């Protein structure tokens, strides 16, 4: 069993979030629509994966017309700073997560897909409940980043360690017992080390257990988005569906079963990589 100090020490061994990603978070959280388009374009041009994603979105049915095909410069101008920030951050974050989740029995890419699905759900919910969409989007995208640390702490025998959990024991409680911290706490510590905004740190920390002492709309949105992504079958590993939907969050948001089922369907439809970075209105008509 790992101790709290073991868990914190593990964070020092993990790769840092790319500097460009941290700059994108700052741009997007500060108001992506007003971000410096030239700076975002510079980031896009220096990352092949991001540039490819930008071209894919710009030339999708939702953006192109009359069979036009856009080059990178045209794509940058057409999409705008806010959408470019989202595409770039999503591409870099999901690449960071692509090999994560082995401790949970996840196949390669599953956690990346879950990150995108959660971000899509958070974006929809943020607009619906008048939360800050950029903060909700980023926090949902990074909510399971702590699973990288669990992978590292657990090592090659991760699944055997996880299998020791008593069937009735809550999964987060077992993580704290076995690894010194649960993945949400580890993720929040990582976000703090990366100097991300405190609203994002708080939402990552509470994405399974929203705070009861001081309810927070961003936390409620990200928690709901996490549940929706899981109900959509994204990133479900050996921890399965052991994370319940918080009753306080349900009451505060006033979500109904029908609304949640419709949102699950939206996430399933929109979670394909070619659509995941589109703004809500384009995603729904693509």
Q: What is the pLDDT of residues 60-94, one digit of tens each?
A: 756 666 566 778 888 888 888 788 888 888 888 88
Residue 104 included in any domain: yes
CB 237 within 8 A of CB 110: yes
Say how far apart CA 283 and CA 117 lie, in whole Å: 13
Q: Please tell me the distance from the alpha carbon of residue 168 to that of residue 173, in angstroms, as a whole number.
A: 11
Q: What per-residue confidence (pLDDT) applies to 63?
A: 62
* Greatest alpha-carbon span in the chain: 61
In a domain, 152, yes or no: yes
Is there a domain that residue 158 lies in?
A: yes
Per-residue confidence at 21, pLDDT binned at 50, 70, 90? confident
Does residue 198 lie in a domain region?
yes
Q: Considering only residues 58 and 160, tell me which one the structure prediction assigns the higher pLDDT.
A: 58
Average pLDDT over residues 151-164: 73
* Closest to 78 in 3D by CA, of 54, 61, 47: 54
Assigned token pair, 92 = 């870099």
- Domain-embedded: residue 82: no
Q: Is 58 contained in some domain? A: no
pLDDT digits (tens, 9 = 90+) for 91-139: 888 888 888 888 888 888 999 999 999 999 999 999 999 999 999 999 9
Is the pLDDT at 277 greater than 60? The verdict is no
Instruction: Tell me what pLDDT residue 279 has.
Output: 45
Domain count, the chain: 1
DSSP 53-83: HHHHHHTSTTT--TT----HHHHHHHHHHHH
The model's pTM is 0.84
The predicted structure's pLDDT at residue 238: 81
- Asked whether residue 278 carries a pLDDT value surpassing 60, the answer given is no
Which CATH number goes with the domain that contains 246? 1.10.3210.10
**φ/ψ of residue 123, rounded to 5:** -65, -45
* DSSP character string of 121-153: HHHHHHHHHT--HHHHHHHHHHTTTTHHHHHHH
Residue 41 lies in a domain: no
> Does 133 fall in a domain?
yes
Determine the structural domain holding residue 204 and report its residue range: 4-14+98-283
Please provide residue 148's backbone torsions phi and psi, each rounded to the nearest 5 degrees: -60, -40
């Amino acid at each position: 069993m790992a101790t709290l100090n073991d868990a914190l020490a593990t964070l020092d061994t993990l790769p840092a979030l790319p500097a460009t990603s941290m700059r994108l978070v700052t741009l997007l959280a500060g108001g992506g629509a007003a971000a410096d388009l030239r700076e975002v374009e510079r980031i896009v041009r220096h990352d092949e994966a991001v540039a490819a994603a930008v071209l894919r979105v710009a030339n999708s049915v939702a953006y192109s017309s009359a069979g036009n095909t856009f080059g990178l410069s045209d794509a940058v101008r057409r999409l705008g700073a806010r959408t470019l920030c989202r595409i770039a951050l999503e591409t870099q974050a999901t690449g960071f997560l692509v090999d994560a989740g082995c401790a949970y029995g996840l196949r390669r890419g599953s956690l990346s897909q879950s990150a995108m699905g959660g971000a899509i759900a958070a974006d929809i919910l943020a607009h619906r409940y008048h939360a800050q969409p950029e903060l909700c989007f980023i926090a949902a995208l990074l909510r399971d980043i702590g699973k990288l640390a669990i992978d590292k702490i657990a090592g090659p025998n991760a699944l055997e360690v996880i299998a020791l959990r008593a069937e009735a024991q809550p999964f987060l409680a077992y993580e704290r017992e076995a690894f010194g911290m649960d993945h949400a706490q580890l993720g929040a510590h990582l976000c703090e080390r990366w100097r991300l905004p405190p609203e994002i740190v708080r939402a990552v920390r509470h994405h399974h257990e929203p705070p009861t002492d001081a309810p927070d709309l961003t936390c409620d949105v990200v928690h709901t988005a996490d549940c929706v992504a899981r109900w959509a079958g994204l990133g479900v590993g050996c921890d399965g569906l052991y994370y319940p939907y918080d009753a306080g969050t349900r009451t505060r948001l006033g979500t109904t079963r029908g609304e949640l089922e419709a949102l699950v369907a939206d996430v399933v439809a929109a979670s394909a990589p070619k659509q995941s970075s589109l703004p809500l209105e384009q995603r729904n008509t693509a």
